[in-house]
């Protein structure tokens, strides 16, 4: 009888541990996806800012999404276009 009880107790703790492991893995996957969805657009914006800072106003800025990161990239694209137009205007008036 004690063997039956010990098997029942072991089986009773295996299921919650399995669920805990599955929940932990799902949490890690969702956290990774969330971090990736935040850091990728920020890295794109940083690359665009560095490119503009180096004086390259011709490299296209791709915008994916309409969230805050997308709006930041759109603002950077607009800034790039305005700077390019300003420099072309100055260059045209100097000749």
Query: pTM for the full model?
Result: 0.67
Closest CA to 72 of 53, 46, 90, 91: 46
Phi and psi, residue 72, nearest 5°: -60, -45
User: Could you report how far apart the first and last alpha carbons of the chain are, in Å?
Assistant: 101
pLDDT tens across the length of the chain (95 residues):
455 555 555 567 888 999 999 999 999 999 999 999 889 988 999 999 999 999 999 999 988 888 888 899 999 999 999 999 999 999 888 76
Q: Give the structural domain span for 76.
A: 2-94
Domain count, the chain: 1
Which pLDDT belongs to residue 19? 95
Give me the pLDDT at residue 65, please.
Answer: 80
pLDDT computed for residue 1 by the predictor: 47
């Amino acid at each position: 009888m004690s063997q039956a009880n010990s098997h029942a107790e072991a089986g009773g703790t295996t299921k919650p541990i399995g669920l805990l492991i599955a929940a932990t893995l799902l949490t890690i996957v969702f956290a990774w996806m969330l971090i990736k969805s935040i850091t990728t657009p920020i890295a794109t914006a940083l690359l665009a800012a560095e490119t503009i800072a180096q004086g390259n106003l011709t490299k296209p800025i791709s915008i994916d999404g309409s969230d805050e990161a997308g709006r930041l990239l759109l603002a950077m694209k607009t800034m790039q276009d305005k700077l390019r137009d300003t420099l072309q205007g100055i260059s045209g008036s100097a000749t």
